[in-house]
Chain A
Amino acid sequence: KAGVTQTPRYLIKTRGQQVTLSCSPISGHRSVSWYQQTPGQGLQFLFEYFSETQRNKGNFPGRFSGRQFSNSRSEMNVSTLELGDSALYLCASSETGGRGNTIYFGEGSWLTVV
């Protein structure tokens, strides 16, 4: 079974631009969550989706948004990029997102904002 796939792996954007990151979960997994990882803040939860519905959201500004499609693929978007948005963005999937469901992570998308 293929793992969680994220694209693109690396990207560089200019301050003020917007970016869209894509995630394909493990086949059969319907819960997709996103995390931001930085040296200063570590791994922080962004949001979680199940059946195209956002069920949980972390403490990030409204510039961070996401969505999930009917095939469980997910995208996240960051608008009006700031230098501080430079980070590794990780997508994770699990079967239902319920307690005890193992969460598997992708390799991440490295975003650099200049």
Chain B
Amino acid sequence: GESVGLHLPTLSVQEGDNSIINCAYSNSASDYFIWYKQESGKGPQFIIDIRSNMDKRQGQRVTVLLNKTVKHLSLQIAATQPGDSAVYFCAENQGGSNYKLTFGKGTLLTVNP
């Protein structure tokens, strides 16, 4: 499929290292945040989410940290594997009951074997 998200911030890591992908959000009213992974030619895949009443949430090999003071979100991937290579997007729900996600520009993660 075609490539989307050209001219993205990039992060290159060695297999087995930990990866940290950062995201700044703009709206202090945002109360729900999601990280998605998008592989070439595919749709975004849900990784992990966090609500604004939490600072940290852990999943399998992934941890999301939320700092509301500076409006910053990060995704930590432990023991990064080649299959983790993809574009990672953070998305925020800017409040309200009807779903409308606002996405960041994305970060291209490349894992070197």
Is B5 in contact with A42, judged by CB distance below 8 angstroms? yes
Report the tally of A-B residue pairs with Cβ distances under 8 A: 79
Q: Which applies to chain A's interface (DSSP): helix, strand, loop or mixed?
A: strand
Is B103 in contact with A43, judged by CB distance below 8 angstroms? yes
Output the least CB separation between A66 and chain B (Å): 14
- Report if A110 contacts B (CB, 8 A): yes
Q: CA–CA, A90 to B31, complex, Å?
A: 23
Is B32 in contact with A99, judged by CB distance below 8 angstroms? yes
Output the least CB separation between B82 and chain A (Å): 21
Interface 1/0 per residue, B26-67 and A, CB below 8 Å: 000001101010000011111001010000000000000000
- Report if B100 contacts A (CB, 8 A): yes
- Report if A76 contacts B (CB, 8 A): no
Is B99 in contact with A94, judged by CB distance below 8 angstroms? yes
